[in-house]
Chains A and B, each alone.
Chain A
Amino acid sequence: MDTSISTAKDENVWGGGDQQPLRASYGKLMMWFFIVSDALTFSGFLAAYGFSRFKFIETWPIADEVFTHVPFFHGNYPMYYVAFMTFILIMSSVTMVLAVDAGHHMDRKKVTFYMLLTIIGGAIFVGSQAWEWATFIKGDFGALETKGGRILQFVDIETGERVALRDFTIENPNETAVYHESSKGIWFFEGDKPSTYSLEEVKAGFLADESVTIRTEQIIEGEKKVLSREDAVAKLADAAIVVEGANLIRNEYGSRLFADFFFFITGFHGFHVFSGVAINVIIFFNVLMGTYDRRGHYEMVEKVGLYWHFVDLVWVFVFTFFYLV
């Protein structure tokens, strides 16, 4: 080992000498430290998701049936939008790596251009995720929840296609749900927001419409179990509450944990993308101002690039375990 003290005035040198451990600069190595620890955090979340899923392996929602929406289009398009989001993120990873490459050639114009494209890609992704969340929270078909917390969905008895509550519910004009607002009593008490239809209205509509039956959470050979009309009428007695959309307590898609993990994991990832865009913007302006030209190297772009690729890498796993498997 060379123990002599270096007098070289190179910024990238670690305190103590010219020998760079692992031949990587201090900043880059620290970025790798962060990435490894962040990867462990994300895998902790995904492993917890796997735990809950294996625990409820027979009743877990089928992702294909949950994420079926594409903006500006009606109909059933499973996965297309998420695939588009994945592609956008990979694309922005490519422009980032091109920016790093241009940085190696000290080409400020190209770095600026590619950084800008990367920022735009990131913004599109975050926007798409916001839209996904909004759609997920709003819900589509609506469902009933039983006393035991199970979700009952409605399907057409002939085709097996999903039927929305609004399609068969008979609204009762005499029944007006009044819910307790904080302005009408003790200020810190507030009731649950009433659903569009009351439980009684949904029940009445279901009993009147012979073409609708109930689908349970249980999965048999890859399909959710559909009850016969008689069983469905009997099962209806267990229903306790009308569920529309999703929140942290209950959701119309099935297992309560499903929505919790969705919000938590995609939210945490979305937060990473958001901060990645913010950091990219800062570096973008530094590039514009010529900071790295004066410094003599574009290593900062490379370090942000590492973070940005890591965000892409995590999405590849989230995509697989949340949407595909």
Chain B
Amino acid sequence: MAHEHKLSIFRGLVTFKNNQQKIWGVLLFLSIVTAIEVGLGITKPEFLMNTSFPGMKPLNWIFIILTLVKAYYIAWDFMHLRDEKASLRRVVVWTPVFLISYLVTLLLFEATYVYEIFNTTFMTWNF
């Protein structure tokens, strides 16, 4: 069992005195990120809503990136991946990342295709 903890986050920008402090620090960070997400979700700033920068509104991209940031800190600090061997970390992270991005890419392309079919062919669905 790894008893020693790595106490730096943000690539060494912030270093905590002990593990408890690090936990509260990460909580603060996660809360701030959640607050930003909720704030953006409620206000929906105009300039992030109108364009459809690659495939989606920029606001949605922001949400997804912030989610991945949150996931990173939950896995690294709460699940102690930061303190594990690099090989365990890679096995746990890259396997799902590869499989999920593969599945999501295929399904979303397929869904876009189905949407096109609904819209461009002689098919009535709104009656």
Contacts and interface: CB of A to CB of B under 8 A. Distances in A.
Interaction A to B: yes
A62 B110 CA distance: 22
Interface string B16-52: 0001100110010011001101100110100001100
B103 A93 contact: no
B114 A43 contact: no
A202 to B, nearest CB: 19
A150 to B, nearest CB: 6
B107 A48 contact: yes
Interface string B96-127: 10011001100110111011001000001111
A32 B71 contact: no
Contacts of B118: 55
B63 A25 contact: no
Nearest to A150: B126
A83 to B, nearest CB: 4
B79 A47 contact: no
Q: Give chain A's interface secondary structure class.
A: helix
A252 interface: no
B84 A51 contact: no
Main SS class of interface, B: helix
A55 to B, nearest CB: 4
Given A55-B114, A317-B71, A222 B27 contact: no
Contacts of B100: 39-40, 43, 47
A309 B77 CA distance: 10
Contacts of A309: 74-75, 78-79
Contact of A43 (B19, B38, B50, B96): B96
Given A36-B95, A146-B127, A324 B63 contact: yes
Contact-size category for A: 35 or more
A100 B3 CA distance: 11
A227 interface: no
A39 B98 CA distance: 12
Contacts of B66: 320
Q: How large is the interface on B (under 10, 10 to 19, 20 to 34, 35 or more residues)?
A: 35 or more
Contacts of B30: 90
Contacts of A86: 34
Interface in B43-84: 44, 49-50, 60, 63-64, 66-67, 70-71, 74-75, 77-80, 84
Given A23-B84, A40-B100, A221 B50 contact: yes
Contacts of B114: 55
Contacts of A78: 41-42
B63 A325 contact: yes
A111 to B, nearest CB: 13
B1 interface: yes
B27 A316 contact: no
A190 interface: no
B88 to A, nearest CB: 4
Given A24-B84, A90-B34, A148-B125, A44 B41 contact: no
Give 8 closest A-B pairs by Cβ, nearest first: A54-B111, A148-B127, A22-B88, A320-B67, A51-B107, A83-B38, A43-B100, A55-B111
17 contacts: A23-B88, A39-B100, A40-B96, A43-B100, A43-B104, A47-B103, A87-B34, A90-B30, A94-B27, A221-B50, A305-B79, A312-B74, A313-B75, A319-B67, A320-B67, A324-B63, A325-B64
Interface of B: 1-3, 19-20, 23-24, 27, 30-31, 34-35, 37-38, 41-42, 44, 49-50, 60, 63-64, 66-67, 70-71, 74-75, 77-80, 84-85, 87-88, 91-92, 95-96, 99-100, 103-104, 107-108, 110-112, 114-115, 118, 124-127
